[in-house]
Amino acid sequence: MRAIVLNGPRSVSQVEVEFPTPGPGEVLLRMLGVGICGSDLSVFYGHRQVPYYPWQMGHEGVGEVVGFGGDVSHLKIGDRVVLEPNYCCFSCSECFKGNTSGCLNRVIVGMAVPGILADYVVVPAPFAWKAPKDLSVGELIALEPFTVGVAALRRSNIQSGDRALVVGMGSTGLLLAGLLISRGFDTYFVEVSSERAALAATLGASSYSALEPSSFERVFETSGSSGGFEIALKSAASGGTIVLIGLSSEPVEVVPADLVRRRLSLVGSMIYDHPTDFATTMAAQPNFLRSVVQARFSFDKAQDAFESAHAVPGKSWISVVEERESL
């Protein structure tokens, strides 16, 4: 069977690997498609270290159940599943509190353990979610990053009537904007790329430029840049909440008195918590995913997919099965 491995920065290739065997509590999946996100790109470009090369890529995946190792009650052969690619341990102090995103032993697929960009993979059953019917593989690919938005929205404690601003219209920002709009919130965005801004507009979000600063009760920073953080800080209304999702390591200047006087809350929102947020996603039936998932690449074009992903507005993904199979 085939897999896509990273040989070193900027170079992936297709290799033959051994067929995996599911252990107890594991599910064997025939992969259908795998999405590409910013963390894959930081691995691809060598900015984020992986344990060794060649390294099997991918963590946002959709597959079909083809086998089990022992009893798995919530799935059957032939089910389509979406992978929750952060395995928490269920037994540390954070897991006991329900904060599985802070799990002390969290295993990140494609970073700590080999990825899922292969014909077949095995995954732990609790993290294989039965996919909603009526969504294509391309749309299902978006559900993992969509769940990042679901968690951010939950943690924002947004109230009806609140005006929301999303900074950055990468895939996470677009999916979060779509989610906010689908929940009836008046949603604005900030984005420098005109193509990404056009995508945001098709979702029904409005450009921020038309508004005065300090007018948003909830601001979501997804760009992961210091400039994005500064915009978020400026645009939050008094008593508002800024939810930080983008991972920026650049220092920023903050005047504490400004936060105090404007009674602002800063909330860090790391991925999602198991099982709450994926459970919400699976019940959500979002209808806008097709406009966010843009570029589909075949398995043998993986190098092109990784090289071009940063320039593609919306999400890129790699189809693991043949083009002719109906997805």
CB 305 within 8 A of CB 297: yes
Scan residues 52-91 and list those touching Zn ion (CB under 5 A). Answer: 60, 88-89
- Give the pair of three-digit tokens for residue 16: 């033959």
Nearer to Zn ion, 92 or 282 (CB): 92
Nearer to Zn ion, 103 or 141 (CB): 103
Among 5, 32, 37, 141, binds Zn ion (CB under 5 A): 37
112 part of the interface to Zn ion, by CB under 5 A: no
Nearer to Zn ion, 113 or 266 (CB): 113
Nearer to Zn ion, 95 or 164 (CB): 95
Which range of residues in 1-9, 67-75, 97-105, 257-265 is near Zn ion by CB under 5 A? 97-105
Which range of residues in 30-38, 251-259, 263-271, 301-309 is near Zn ion by CB under 5 A? 30-38
Q: Say how many residues touch Zn ion, by CB under 5 A.
A: 7
95 part of the interface to Zn ion, by CB under 5 A: yes
CB of 249 to Zn ion, least distance (A): 18
Which range of residues in 16-24, 26-34, 103-111, 314-322 is near Zn ion by CB under 5 A? 103-111
266 by Cβ neighbours in 10 Å (0-12 / 13-18 / 19+) ranks as: middle
Name the β-bridge partners of 173.
none
Nearer to Zn ion, 92 or 284 (CB): 92
293 part of the interface to Zn ion, by CB under 5 A: no
Among 6, 29, 34, 103, binds Zn ion (CB under 5 A): 103
CB of 41 to Zn ion, least distance (A): 10
Which range of residues in 31-39, 61-69, 180-188, 204-212 is near Zn ion by CB under 5 A? 31-39
Nearer to Zn ion, 169 or 264 (CB): 169
Binding mask 262-291 for Zn ion (x = CB under 5 A): ------------------------------
CB of 125 to Zn ion, least distance (A): 17
CB 305 within 8 A of CB 120: no
List b or e across 153-176, with b for residues whose CB sees 16 or more CB atoms inside 10 angstroms: bbbbebeeebbbbbbbbbbbbbbb
Per CB under 5 A, residues contacting Zn ion are 37, 60, 88-89, 92, 95, 103
